[in-house]
Amino acid sequence: MRNRYGSEAMPLSDILAPDAVFPSLKVASKKQAIQELSAHAARLTGQDSRKIFEILLQRERLGSTGIGQGIAIPHGKMKIDRIFGLFAQLEKPIDFEALDGQSVDLIFLLLAPETAGADHLKALALIARLLRDGKVADKLRTLHDAKALYSLLIAPPINHAA
């Protein structure tokens, strides 16, 4: 099945649940953001928050998952049954050591099974394309309701190239 960006991928609704969207998250640093997101992910997946935190931190040591334009996609693999996503809009942008030096205010956490292989990379690519769409990112920054954020994330507008 082709998604709205013309590539074959699972729908984002398979990765992101309505209760995994957090508007106006209050954090002051990259480490605190990863801790908070790990705690929320642990509650939703039944996994240990410390383990999630360590996996995400280990990935950050390889290089920041701040991909630019105010967006970060911290991710890792662990013993879970399916790919899991969590989205947070930050109340105030934070330094995430992003590639472009910009502060981050939109974070999409992604956890994948250790055996996910290409599906993990496809999910990362899907999320990166969605959030790097300037119109989608701008709209996400104006919404402050979890339901509205979720609706926009799972049904992004169709881009028409001029």
Q: What angle do the packed helices 134-142 and 146-154 form, to 10 degrees?
A: 170
Residues 6+ apart with CB under 8 A from 51: 78
Active site residue 75: yes
Output the six-digit token pair for 70.
């105010």
Evaluate whether 144 touches 110 at the Cβ level (below 8 Å).
no
Rounded-to-integer distance, Cα 16 and Cα 19, Å? 8
Rounded-to-integer distance, Cα 73 and Cα 111, Å? 10
Which is catalytic among the residues 75, 120, 144, 160? Answer: 75
Which residue numbers are catalytic?
75
